[in-house]
Chain A
Amino acid sequence: MKISVWGNELSAWIARAQLASYGNTVFIESGESEPVASQLRSEPGLLGALQNATLHERLIVDTGAAINAEVHWLSMAPDESDAALELVGRIAKNTQGPLLVVNQSNFGVGMCDRMQALLQSELQQVVYLPDLLQAGQAMQQFVNPEALLIGTDNPTAQARLIALLRPFHLGQRTIQQMSCREAEFVKYAITGLLALRLGYINEMAGLCDQLNLDMDAIRRGMSTDKRIGTHYLQPSCGFGGLQFTQYLKGLAELLSGRQGSVLIDTVLAQNEVNKEWPFRTLWQHYNCDLRGRKVAIWGAAFKAGVADIDNAPALRVIDALLAQGAEICVHDPEAMQALSERYAGVSGIALATNAYEACTGAVAMLLLTDWPEYGSPDFPRLKQTMNQPLIIDGRNLYDPQRVQQEGFIYYTRGRNCLSQDPS
């Protein structure tokens, strides 16, 4: 099959890599056959697959061929909706015969209908395929989806998409068909519920600290209820990520605009407060004076496995520390490039290639991303390196008793009852 993939989102590059890996010929209109942004380049497995496809001429940059393909896959950024409409118009003008436009972009509800209106005949159809990929595991999730959600009212279009994706479901996965508008909305609904859970559990963690309870015990107790389950119950210093936040903001706008509900607005606002929990803890520990104090940060990516720092808690923490005159040294296994771009020319922040180096002379270490390599550090070495043995753990990564036995003052979300009084 000849497929053109449009856009520069993670899902666009994953589609290019995997559709080409499975034998399709994939066209790119212009530019490079690899993404430029570091957070895309570091997606596990992506670059190798793209290079391999290019080598075997299944991934081709070709303006003419791109517009003439029979399938067009759109994974464009939310602010590119005008460009997307213009593109679909151009494709429609150029194509007489059958056409399948697979839209994965987050343009809000109703955009597919507007695209469909630009097409020429019944044989030309827009379908919506919600982008359910998670950064860090996207290659795997694309080839092995748990289910297929397909937005279309047209049986022919549905059959064509199922055929196109056959290598990835082999007829064995649940297929949920719905209208384009419903499919466009479904990811908003999913994202909203996940954010509510995360927001809720963080509020519970705060309350546990006030009531002197161990949040971990409460969480384990909650998970025994089947209606609740175990996912998305780990307290943390807030959620981030570009796409997750974009969907949430979109949903918040719909909710407040259409029915005056501030539910998701509140979750978003509270999340920003949550992101600063490590800063507040440090601020209180040092009696509101961080001027000139050296602070180490472990982890800046918004979650482990990605190089992306968009809306990451680390950004709010770093900005707050800089505003208070602290000296920061950050380590992250993947996000260094993104960090150096964002803080280019800013004084008071340094980047370290080694996690222990980041802690040299520090009066505190703030753990903000749960990278596996931070899971079992050499505590004695860490203690020796630091000026004050203080760990503020935004990801509940360590066992409080163990860390304190190692001689550290330890703060973590929802488990302060297990911390000995530093005094």
Chain B
Amino acid sequence: MSHAWNKLQASAERLRGVHLRDLLQSEQRFEKLSFNAAHLLLDLSRQRIDEQVFAELLELANERQLDKAIKSLLRGEIVNPTENRPALHSALRMPAGTELIVDKANLVDGVQATLERMTDFVDKIHAGQWRGYSGRAISEVVNIGVGGSDLGPLMVCEALHEFKPQAADGVNIHFVSSMDGSQLSNLLLELNPETTLFVLSSKSFGTLDTLANAATAIDWLVERSGLNRELLIQQHFIGVTASPEKAIAWGIAEDSILKFWDWTGGRYSLWSGIGLPIALTIGMQGFRDLLAGAHAMDSHFAQASYEENLPILLALMGIWNINFQDIHAHAILPYDGRLAHLPAYLEQLEMESNGKSVKHDGELSDQRTCPILWGEIGPNAQHAFYQLLHQGTEPVMSDFIVPARRYEGRAAGLLEQHQLALANCLAQARVLALGDAALKDDSERPPWQRYAGNQPSSVILMETLNPASLGSLIALYEHKVYVQAVIWGINPFDQWGVELGKKVANDLIEALRQPVSGSYDQATDGLLAAIQQLQEEN
């Protein structure tokens, strides 16, 4: 154990039994523990820390040479050693005219070239000049992708829908991900094949889920149009991939491919061509604003000192809670319905990145790493799982995310609804921290009406929710994940745990066609036999 780690353990011991309501008494706590950068205010005053812990956490960051690690990330050094590549999502948001030389090439040139091609696609579709097989203009765009090719674009499209420019009025975006075809089969009932374009988003262009949905989409086009598959793929498919050669072999026209690079991880890819549905929803200017917001956070992350660096501080609070407060549940609670998909997005970002137990050196980690994340729109969750937060046995850390301003220039009733959401956000953060002490009236109550409090939380206050502030918010979490990975000594950019399941499933497809008993474990063999029997009965 390192020096700083030991100190933090001692501090945890020292603060055992100190309640958040007492910590909140310290002078100027909010001023000392709230931080502003890149469109965001981060309030950490409801974390179970005091000034000493704060200093020790910074010492830990220093000890782990975080500054070097951040430089490695942003300069394009190999930070993903198991796949021998850098992780350069930050390069995707670098403005035109800047430079990032990796392997003697300026990556920004390629990034900007893809953005230019994306602009052509968006302009053509918005102008009603992307034509289907009958010559009618495309009005429905279906994104077929899963994981990073789905969650990011879906989350941002939902969040920023009201920033849709007039040019995008005639275009509707749909998302299809599930391998079993549930979403697609329903959607195809409503769509007209003449006016539907599919965006096939897959980094590897080998994702089974996505290709299965694409095959169903092609069958539908062929059946409804009577035309051949080649022609239909040329007119009705855009491919977004890091493996363009596979997309071309599959039949997609070379002109209809948006390329990205293997140094962009799937869950970090909404900034690349994978963001096409976002650009189709909010226009290229909106998309560039989103990139600019993220870039502002990148610059802050690169330049700000530890003690005011938002991603580092947010990460350190997580480290404190997980490794020194023994909290392994993390709730994401946006108080804005537009951020409904943010919890699902962050679930992937954090758990797929840091759900690891083997360190860089191949040794098993002797510390806990990524907690379980889950979440829901705050006001709705109040009627669902907040009971557990208030009176359950699990310690939970929470992130409250809310814009200060909304509905400007809209009806008074809507403005009132936003105030209501804000009031509830503040109330819940307060009650979770203080428990009974939040009540003005301290008369005797039965045990089932008592609140222990002491549940820590962070509040991220956005001025308004817009492309720039959302870009900054997402980049905040991306970098937070990286900082935690550096401290834990794990690789946040691979996902070998996901690969194994894919392989075994490929195997089992054969087994479902022709089960041979005794091939697998008893449970699998038993279920294969049961399924076969049920399918034969029909």
Contact = CB atoms under 8 A, between A and B. Distances in A.
A288 B234 contact: yes
Given A287-B231, A288-B231, A288-B235, A280 B127 contact: no
A222 interface: no
A359 B133 CA distance: 26
B131 interface: yes
Contact of B129 (A284, A288, A323): A323
B134 A323 contact: no
A280 B135 contact: yes
Nearest to A277: B135
Contacts of B134: 280, 283-284
A276 interface: yes
Interface in B215-238: 231, 234-235
B193 to A, nearest CB: 14
A334 B129 CA distance: 28
B161 interface: no
A279 B135 contact: yes
Interface in A284-327: 284, 287-288, 319-320, 323-324
Interface string B120-153: 0000100101010111100000000000000000
A288 B136 contact: no
A378 to B, nearest CB: 30
A283 B135 CA distance: 6
A276 B129 contact: no
Interface string B494-533: 0000000000000000000000000000000000000000
Contacts of B235: 288
Interface residues of A, number: 14
Interface residues of B, number: 11
B233 to A, nearest CB: 11
A263 interface: no
A273 interface: yes
Contacts of B136: 273, 276, 280
B127 A276 contact: no
Given A288-B231, A288-B235, A323-B124, A283 B129 contact: no
Contacts of A287: 231
Given A287-B231, A288-B231, A276 B124 contact: no
A288 B133 contact: yes
Interface string A309-351: 0000000000110011000000000000000000000000000
Contacts of A273: 136
Nearest to B228: A287
Nearest to A282: B135
Contacts of B127: 323
A281 B134 CA distance: 8
B129 A320 contact: yes
A320 B135 CA distance: 9
A282 B127 CA distance: 20
B231 A283 contact: no
A273 B135 CA distance: 10
A281 B129 CA distance: 15
A121 to B, nearest CB: 43
Interface of A: 273, 276, 279-284, 287-288, 319-320, 323-324
21 contacts: A276-B135, A276-B136, A279-B135, A280-B134, A282-B135, A283-B131, A283-B134, A283-B135, A284-B134, A284-B135, A288-B131, A288-B133, A288-B135, A288-B231, A288-B234, A288-B235, A319-B129, A320-B131, A323-B127, A323-B129, A324-B131
Interface of B: 124, 127, 129, 131, 133-136, 231, 234-235
Given A288-B231, A319-B129, A324-B131, 15 more contacts: A276-B135, A280-B135, A280-B136, A281-B135, A283-B131, A284-B134, A284-B135, A287-B231, A288-B131, A288-B135, A288-B234, A288-B235, A323-B124, A323-B127, A324-B129
The 8 nearest A-B residue pairs measured at CB: A280-B135, A323-B129, A283-B135, A288-B235, A279-B135, A280-B134, A288-B133, A284-B135
